[in-house]
C-alpha cells in the first residue's frame, strides 16, 4: 500500500509567490519522521526540512515551512517568495521507527514537479 | 568533506551483461540504501543494509544483488535478470533507528541499456 501520497504531479508558480505542495501519509506507528527533499534536474537529492511526529510546532527552515496536521496525516511544504532556482522535483518522505521496523527505512512519495516562472 | 560518492555517473550496458554500481561513504553511517528512480517518478527501494555483512531486500529487489563487506561501501550489481534496468540509481546513507535523521544521497548513476 502507498505510504506517502503526493497528489500534485506538477505545478507552475510565479516568481515571488508562495506555493504549497501537498503530502499525506499513512502509518499506524506513533513515532515517525517526515522529510522533504528537493531534486533539481542534475539529479542530486537535497534535504530541505524535517518534522517529527511528536513535535508540537511546525518546522521552518528559511523560506521553507511545513504545515503539519497530525490528525489529518498531512505534511504540506510551503515555499515562500519563490525563486527561479526553486524549479525542481520535490519529494515527501517518511521514516517510521517501530518494533516491526526498528531501524527505519525512508519511504518516498511520487514527487511534485515545480516550475517557477518569471 | 564527508559525503557519498557514486560512480560512474553514466553507465551503458549491453543486454545480457551484469554491471556494478559503486557507492562509498565517509560519514560513518551504519545504514546504506539503494533506490531506483524512473523518469518522472519517485524513488523505489531496491536493497538496504544496516550493518556490515547484512542486507535486506526492498520493494523491487528482483534482478539486483548487493554486498556489504565494509561499512563505507555498498555496491549494487544489476544482473541480466533485471528486465528493464534503464533508470537513475541513487545511493544513500543514514544513521539507523532514529526517526529524526535524514538520509544523505550520492549524485546518482544513470544506467542505460544499449
**pLDDT tens figures, B27-77:** 999 999 999 999 878 899 999 998 899 999 999 999 999 999 999 999 999
Q: What is the rounded CA–CA span in Å between residue B110 and residue B105? A: 14
Q: What is the rounded CA–CA span in Å between residue A107 and residue B43? A: 8
* pLDDT reported for residue B111: 95
Residue B97 has pLDDT above 70, yes or no: no
As a whole number, mean pLDDT of residues A55-77 equals 96
CB B69 within 8 A of CB B53: yes
As a whole number, mean pLDDT of residues A67-82 equals 96
Q: What is the rounded CA–CA span in Å between residue B31 and residue B101? A: 11
Inter-chain Cβ pairs, chain A and chain B, closer than 8 A? 66
Q: Which of A43, A94, A99, A114 to mutate to test the interface with B (most CBs of B within 10 A)?
A: A43
* A54 touching B (Cβ < 8 Å): no
Question: What distance in Å separates residue A78's CA from the closest CA in chain B?
Answer: 19
* pLDDT reported for residue B103: 86
* pLDDT reported for residue B102: 82
* pLDDT reported for residue A103: 64
Q: Which grid coordinates are listed for A68?
A: 503539519
Q: What is the rounded CA–CA span in Å between residue A103 and residue A33? A: 12
* pLDDT reported for residue A8: 94
Provide, rounded to the nearest whole percent, the portion of chain B with pLDDT above 90: 72
As a whole number, mean pLDDT of residues A56-70 equals 96
Provide, rounded to the nearest whole percent, the portion of chain B with pLDDT above 70: 96
* pLDDT reported for residue A118: 95
For all residues of chain B together, what is the average pLDDT? 92
More confident residue, A24 or A105: A24
Amino acid at each position: 500500500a502507498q505510504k506517502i501520497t503526493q497528489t500534485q504531479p506538477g505545478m507552475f508558480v510565479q516568481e515571488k509567490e508562495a506555493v504549497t505542495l501537498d503530502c499525506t501519509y499513512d502509518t499506524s506507528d506513533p513515532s515517525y519522521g517526515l522529510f522533504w527533499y528537493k531534486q533539481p534536474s542534475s539529479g542530486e537529492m537535497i534535504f530541505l526540512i524535517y518534522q517529527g511526529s511528536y513535535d508540537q510546532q511546525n518546522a521552518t527552515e528559511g523560506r521553507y515551512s511545513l504545515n503539519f496536521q497530525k490528525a489529518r496525516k498531512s505534511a504540506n511544504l510551503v515555499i515562500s517568495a519563490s525563486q527561479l532556482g526553486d524549479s525542481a522535483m520535490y519529494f515527501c518522505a517518511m521514516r517510521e521507527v517501530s518494533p516491526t521496523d526498528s531501524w527505519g527505512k525512508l519511504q518516498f512519495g511520487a514527487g511534485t514537479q515545480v516550475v517557477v516562472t518569471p | 568533506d564527508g559525503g557519498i560518492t557514486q560512480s560512474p555517473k553514466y553507465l551503458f550496458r549491453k543486454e545480457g551483461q551484469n554491471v556494478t554500481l559503486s557507492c562509498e561513504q565517509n560519514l560513518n553511517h551504519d545504514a546504506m540504501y539503494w533506490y531506483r528512480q524512473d523518469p518522472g517518478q519517485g524513488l523505489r527501494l531496491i536493497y538496504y543494509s544496516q550493518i556490515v555483512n547484512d542486507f535486506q531486500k526492498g520493494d523491487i529487489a528482483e534482478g539486483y544483488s548487493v554486498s556489504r563487506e565494509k561499512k563505507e561501501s555498498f555496491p549494487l550489481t544489476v544482473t541480466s535478470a533485471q528486465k528493464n534496468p534503464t533508470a537513475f540509481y541513487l545511493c544513500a546513507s543514514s544513521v539507523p533507528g532514529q526517526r529524526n535523521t535524514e538520509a544523505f544521497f550520492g549524485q546518482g548513476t544513470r544506467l542505460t541499456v544499449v
